[in-house]
Structure 1
């Protein structure tokens, strides 16, 4: 299959290794990955902070870049949810019926990484090896908007050498929430403290998630705390062979 990678602006700017890991995993499985050069932001941060008009321009750009793709992989539940749940709605609300129709047609071909692997490609064993104790945090958008369920866990259970530890109260938010962490910093910090306390209770050396924005939030708190827990995106663990 020929798969287009929407790397997301956060990954492209701060976590380029995640995009490379996605390519490694998919190419190992025999698929061709392309990177459309005209891609930019999904528009989520603009919509969430009250700028729907600006978000609409990103809907138009995304649709134009990816609408001919056989499949689009997104290493972010948050951004995948924005594309699937909001792009067509946003276009329709602005009276752009043409764009809404195109965005709606594209949406079913846009997949978060674990969805693509398990549901579209039909694999759970991607040939990975990672001999560490790992716990998994299901990020809010992936859990509540995409409904990816146990797909990431099914993938992690097939990784050779990996010891998967159950995270207590896993479904609780980490407190990031984009600008929520800035506008409600005390509440955000308290939520984050609860989450990392649960992470440390697992005895895991690695905290895994499918969104680097949440991992950035949690990783910063873990580092400040002097914890030895490392944060890694799901794609990076699945790309590992040692």
Structure 2
């Protein structure tokens, strides 16, 4: 299968390993992965802060960039949620009804990594090997917008050598929420403290997630505590093998 990668802003600028791991994994499974160089931001941060008109050019760019691909994947439940649930809405609100229809259709072909693997490619055992004790943080957008459910956990349970431990209060927000962490810093910090306490209680050496934004927030907090717990994107775990 020929799959187009939407890398996302954070993967491009801060977490390139997540995008690289997505490509490595899919190619190992026998698929061709292409990277359209015209891609930029999906516009989520603009929409979430009320700048729908300013987001419209980014919606147009996404639709135009990925119009020729049957399957699009992004290592981010947050960005995929925005593409599916905001792009058509933004276009319609700006009077671009033709674009809205195209955005809806393009969004339907855009998948978060775990749902692409499980729902589209029909695979749960990707041949990964990762000999660490891991706990998984299910990010808000992946649960509530993209609705990936337990797909990431099903994939992790098949990883050889991995000791998967349940995260208490797993579905509670880590406190990032984009600009929420900036505008409501005290509340965000309190939410993060609860999340880090729960992570520490598992005895895991790694906290995994499917969104780099949450990993950045949690990882920053753990670093400030001089914690030995690391943060790793789901794609990096699934791309790991015994020979890595």
Q: Normalising by the residue count of structure 1, what TM-score does the alignment of the two structures yield?
A: 0.99
1:187 maps to 187
Per the TM alignment, residue 4 of structure 1 is displaced from its structure 2 partner at its CA by 0.1
- Partner Cα separation in structure 2 for residue 58 and residue 9 of structure 1: 12
Per the TM alignment, residue 67 of structure 1 is displaced from its structure 2 partner at its CA by 1.3
Per the TM alignment, residue 5 of structure 1 is displaced from its structure 2 partner at its CA by 0.1
2:211 maps to 211
Per the TM alignment, residue 106 of structure 1 is displaced from its structure 2 partner at its CA by 1.1
1:55 maps to 55
Matched, 1:3 2:3: yes
1:174 maps to 174
Partner secondary structure for residue 37 of structure 1: coil
2:31 maps to 31
Deviations 1:177-236 (A, max 9, x none): 000000000000000000010000000000000001100000010011111000000000
Which runs of 4 or more aligned residues in structure 1 lie more than 4 Å from their structure 2 counterparts after TM superposition? none
Partner secondary structure for residue 227 of structure 1: coil
Partner secondary structure for residue 95 of structure 1: coil
- Partner Cα separation in structure 2 for residue 105 and residue 223 of structure 1: 41
**What RMSD in Å do the two structures reach over aligned CA positions?**
0.6
**Can you give the 5+ residue segments of structure 2 that lack an aligned partner in the other structure?**
none
1:163 maps to 163
1:80 maps to 80
- Partner Cα separation in structure 2 for residue 94 and residue 151 of structure 1: 35
Q: Normalising by the residue count of structure 2, what TM-score does the alignment of the two structures yield?
A: 0.98
- Partner Cα separation in structure 2 for residue 115 and residue 198 of structure 1: 26
**Can you give the 5+ residue segments of structure 1 that lack an aligned partner in the other structure?**
none
Matches within 5 A, 1:78-227: 78-227=78-227
Per the TM alignment, residue 167 of structure 1 is displaced from its structure 2 partner at its CA by 0.2
Partner secondary structure for residue 164 of structure 2: strand
Deviations 1:143-180 (A, max 9, x none): 01111110000000000000000000100000000000
- Report how many residues are paired: 242
- Partner Cα separation in structure 2 for residue 70 and residue 53 of structure 1: 28
Per the TM alignment, residue 89 of structure 1 is displaced from its structure 2 partner at its CA by 1.1
- Partner Cα separation in structure 2 for residue 122 and residue 62 of structure 1: 27
1:19 maps to 19
- Partner Cα separation in structure 2 for residue 144 and residue 93 of structure 1: 23
Per the TM alignment, residue 49 of structure 1 is displaced from its structure 2 partner at its CA by 1.4
